[in-house]
Amino acid sequence: MSGPARVRLGAVGYLNARPLVYGLEALPQFEVRYDIPSECARLLHAHDTDLGLIPSIEYLRGPRPYTLVPGPGVTSKGPVASVAIFTRRDPRDIRSIAMDSSSRTSVALATILLRREFRAAPKTVSMPPDLDAMLAAADAALIIGDTALFLNPQSPISNQSPISNQSPITNQQSAISKIDLGDLWTRSTGLPFVYAFWAGWPDAVTPGQVERLQRARDEGVAHAGDVARDYYPDDPAREAVAGHYLRDNIQYVLGPEELEGLQMFYRYATELDLVSYDGGLRFYHAEHHGAR
């Protein structure tokens, strides 16, 4: 008699997601694969995974109803460092923007903030995250993840240091500003922003498995230094930046304030006809209810 089927987890391969999968690869109940955020969403929508660490906007774009794992998430309150618009123009003068093709939620976030904060509604083109190519094709570039985190041509450690919100950098002898979208969202709304969370098909995971996912988050956060070291072995400069980023920029609790920010994001996205939101969120039950 065969044992229970393994839960197929679709996880984001970026540094900021690694604390959420801490230790899960060693467990026989889970089968973990890593992809870019847009592919994690596609796999879940196609039923090729059971549970995905999906971009938050994709909760409203799949063949619903999806269900959320309560507690873990990839969030920020203030500067996130790894989701940013790069531009040589005043944001109000942006007429075109190249959007990172690996992104879904950040594309919606950039669209919302450009419209609400700068009254800009630029034309968009989807491109791989290459700053020079993107700025050759458009007035601005949205870049996310590890590429954005380490994108600083002035860095003394070969583009390995993050740069602060709206700080000028030099590229091709022209000033470029990095607009940190996590910081801009929080300054605009006073709330955290939710980039991704575990969501899946109804009955995809048991209450015990939900609790194990919550514990993985807790253990990953507690071992952020180990996560950074494992992600950038033999590279002390990147490891130092990564450790700071995991401790000080990214947060991993999907609590009441984060859910308020998530629902505000959904309302704003609905106003721009990016999605349709009915006001509800569905959650799995956990074996133990004490997890944040």
pLDDT tens digits, 188-246? 999 999 999 999 999 999 999 999 999 999 999 999 999 999 999 999 999 999 999 99
Could you tell me which residue, 159 or 178, shows the higher pLDDT? 178
Locate the DSSP E strands across 103-244: 123-127, 140-144, 167-171, 174-180, 193-200
Q: Is the pLDDT of residue 2 over 60?
A: no
Identify whether the C-beta of residue 176 lies closer than 8 Å to the C-beta of residue 139.
no
pLDDT tens digits, 36-57? 999 999 999 999 999 999 999 9
What Cα–Cα distance (Å) separates residue 163 from each residue in 105, 139, 169, 246, 274? 21, 20, 8, 15, 30
Q: CA-CA-CA-CA torsion for 168, 115, 252, 126, nearest 10 degrees?
A: -80
pLDDT given at position 63: 80
Please report how many Cα atoms fall inside a 13 Å half-sphere around the Cα of residue 261, on the Cβ side.
27
Going from the N-terminus, what domains does the chain have, and what CATH number goes with each?
Answer: 7-73+195-239+251-258 (3.40.190.10), 83-189 (3.40.190.10)
Q: How confident is the model at residue 4 (pLDDT cuts 50, 70, 90)?
A: low
The whole-angstrom separation of Cα 201 and Cα 97 is: 34
Q: Is the pLDDT of residue 163 over 50?
A: no
For residue 26, the tally of other CB atoms under 10 A from its CB is 8
The whole-angstrom separation of Cα 273 and Cα 105 is: 14
Q: Take residue 177 and report the two structure tokens written for it.
A: 């500003």
**What is the mean pLDDT of the segment spanning 252-277?**
97
Lowest mean pLDDT among 89-93, 138-142, 149-153, 236-240: 149-153
For residue 83, the tally of other CB atoms under 10 A from its CB is 30
What are φ and ψ of residue 158, in 5° steps?
Answer: 55, 60
The mean pLDDT of the chain is 90
pLDDT tens digits, 72-84? 999 999 999 999 9
The whole-angstrom separation of Cα 6 and Cα 276 is: 33
